[in-house]
């Protein structure tokens, strides 16, 4: 997101809340901490200033709120209100006390002790099963996330539970729901068919979850050599291997069964992947029962 003086919005009343301070910003808006006067609690409010928006981004911003508002799951952030003020769109949601999974992974990677630069494998498997459960729930209600990645997963303080956020490019399987004309998403996590066919189905989330699991279990993803994002997207869409080594080759503490799980989740052809996030989660649970938290 381009530079924007978020401080100018501090103190602004939106719905039943007042904006207190900027928390984060991304390509689809600025998130503020806010105080909800009616229930006397801190919440989060996401804002999309008109100065940073075009017609499609405004539509996607509203779609994000509408997509998530219809979902009630312990691992999906709850949406409270949506509205419009002079100069910006906004919606409010639960304030998750914690940090993004992306930030947590970067913090772990900086640990001076090599053995502590990854999540414990058992914790990573449990986290993934919860994320997959949230995705399966959303799919059952006609919502495909399409942008599953560490930055869009919040990890709560203390309990370290994942909460899925940012449904800005979600596909709504309802009349008039999905209208993406061009590919959107994060190149590393985008499924091959998502690059060429923006309205691809829920198996794009299976693919992204497979890449995410791979990233959680190894110190560095063994990606095919590429000089630009475009080269990576071309390799993906042409069916060329994206990963040059198997998970157990990068992390020898993993059982080779994990190689098969990640290979199936990230298969080039959607029909060769797990047919649903539930089936992927069940496969992870079987792996955990057989091999524990190896890795």
Tell me the pLDDT tens digit for each residue of 41-62.
Answer: 999 999 999 988 888 889 888 8
Domains of the chain with bracketed CATH: 6-94 (3.30.200.20), 98-291 (1.10.510.10)
Mean pLDDT throughout 34-42? 97
Q: Which residue has the tokens 């001076």?
A: 112
Q: Which of 136, 147, 166, 205 is catalytic?
A: 147
Q: Which pLDDT score, from 0 to 100, does residue 63 have?
A: 85
Measured CA distances, 183 to 90, 166, 170, 261 (Å):
24, 17, 12, 27
Q: Which pLDDT score, from 0 to 100, does residue 115 have?
A: 86
pLDDT in tens, 214-270: 999 999 999 999 999 999 999 999 998 899 999 999 999 999 999 999 999 999 999
E strands, 103-173, are 143-144, 153-156, 162-164, 171-172
Measured CA distances, 54 to 89, 112, 182, 194, 253 (Å):
12, 44, 15, 23, 48
Told to judge if 201 belongs to the known catalytic residues of this protein, a careful annotator would answer no
Judged by DSSP in three states, 11 sits in coil
Q: Which pLDDT score, from 0 to 100, does residue 188 have?
A: 94
C-beta separation of 99 from 155 below 8 A: yes
**pTM, whole model, 2 decimals?**
0.92
Mean pLDDT throughout 18-34? 91
pLDDT in tens, 70-85: 999 999 999 999 999 9
Mean pLDDT throughout 276-294? 93
pLDDT in tens, 101-157: 999 999 999 999 988 999 999 999 999 999 999 999 999 999 999 999 999 999 999
CA separation for the pair 226, 141 (Å, rounded): 37
E strands, the chain, are 13-14, 17-26, 29-36, 41-49, 79-85, 88-94, 98-100, 143-144, 153-156, 162-164, 171-172
Using the CB atoms, write b or e for 257-270: b if 16+ within 10 Å: ebbebbbbbbbbeb
pLDDT in tens, 166-224: 887 787 655 444 544 455 678 999 999 988 876 679 999 999 999 999 999 999 999 99
């Amino acid at each position: 997101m381009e530079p924007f003086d978020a401080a100018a919005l501090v103190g602004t009343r939106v719905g039943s809340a007042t904006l207190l301070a900027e928390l984060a910003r991304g390509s689809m808006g600025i998130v503020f901490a806010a105080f909800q006067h009616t229930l006397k609690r801190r919440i989060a409010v996401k804002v999309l200033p008109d100065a940073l928006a075009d017609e499609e981004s405004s539509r996607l911003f509203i779609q994000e709120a509408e997509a998530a508002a219809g979902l009630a799951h312990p691992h999906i952030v709850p949406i409270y209100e949506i509205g419009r003020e002079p100069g910006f769109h906004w919606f409010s949601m639960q304030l998750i006390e914690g940090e993004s999974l992306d930030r947590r992974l970067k913090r772990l990677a900086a640990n001076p002790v090599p053995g502590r630069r990854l999540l414990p494998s058992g914790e990573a498997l449990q986290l993934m099963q919860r994320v997959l459960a949230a995705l399966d729930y959303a799919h059952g209600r006609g919502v495909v996330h399409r942008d599953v990645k560490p930055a869009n997963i919040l990890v709560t303080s203390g309990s370290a539970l994942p909460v899925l956020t940012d449904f800005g490019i979600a596909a709504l399987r309802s009349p008039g729901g999905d209208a993406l004309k061009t590919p959107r998403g994060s190149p590393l996590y985008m499924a091959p068919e998502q690059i060429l066919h923006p309205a691809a189905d829920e198996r794009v989330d299976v693919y992204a979850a497979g890449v995410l699991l791979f990233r959680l279990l190894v110190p560095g993803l063994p990606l095919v050599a590429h000089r630009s994002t475009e080269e990576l997207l071309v390799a993906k869409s042409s069916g060329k291997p994206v990963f040059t080594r198997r998970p157990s080759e990068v992390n020898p503490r993993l059982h080779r069964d994990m190689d098969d799980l990640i290979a199936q989740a990230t298969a080039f052809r959607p029909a060769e992947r797990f047919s649903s996030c539930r089936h992927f989660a069940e496969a992870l649970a079987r792996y955990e029962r057989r091999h524990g938290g190896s890795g």
